[in-house]
Amino acid sequence: MRRERATRLLEDLITRLEQGGWPLGLVDEVYVFGSYVRGALEPNDVDVVVEHGTDKRWLGESLYASINGRDAYVGMRQALRGPYTGHLLSVPWPGHPAGRGLRVVPALAQG
């Protein structure tokens, strides 16, 4: 994809996060990393790390998914992607990603 499209994807993501709603209202911070941050003119996707809190609904749905052998982050990834498919890669990663040696750029910090 062209860089302009990747930028639009990030802008749309930030807009959806600012609008809130569940589960996006749980998101505290978003970091961008990978080829987009390195300045690629045609990144394959947009890599983001999302740090989020939990609520009773999140805990209930996560428990249900885990008990049934499902990925507890599917709902969050779908909400982050919005109407787009296959271009936004979110990584459920606890802790600050910069501490993991990644070059990351903060895209959004709530609060």
Q: pLDDT tens for residues 29-63?
A: 888 888 898 999 999 888 888 888 999 999 999 99
Helices within the chain (DSSP H only)? 3-19, 56-67, 74-81
Phi/psi of residue 85, nearest 5 degrees: -125, 135
Cα–Cα distance for residue pair 38/43, rounded to 1 Å: 9
- Sign for the pseudo-dihedral over CA of 82, 85, 88, 91: positive
C-beta neighbour count of 75 within 10 angstroms: 16
Domain count for the chain, please give it: 1
> Which residues span the domain enclosing 13?
3-109
Three-class SS of residue 47? strand
Q: Which tops the pLDDT comparison, 34 or 99?
A: 34
The CATH number of the domain where 100 resides is what? 3.30.460
pLDDT value for 97: 52
User: pTM for the whole thing?
Assistant: 0.77
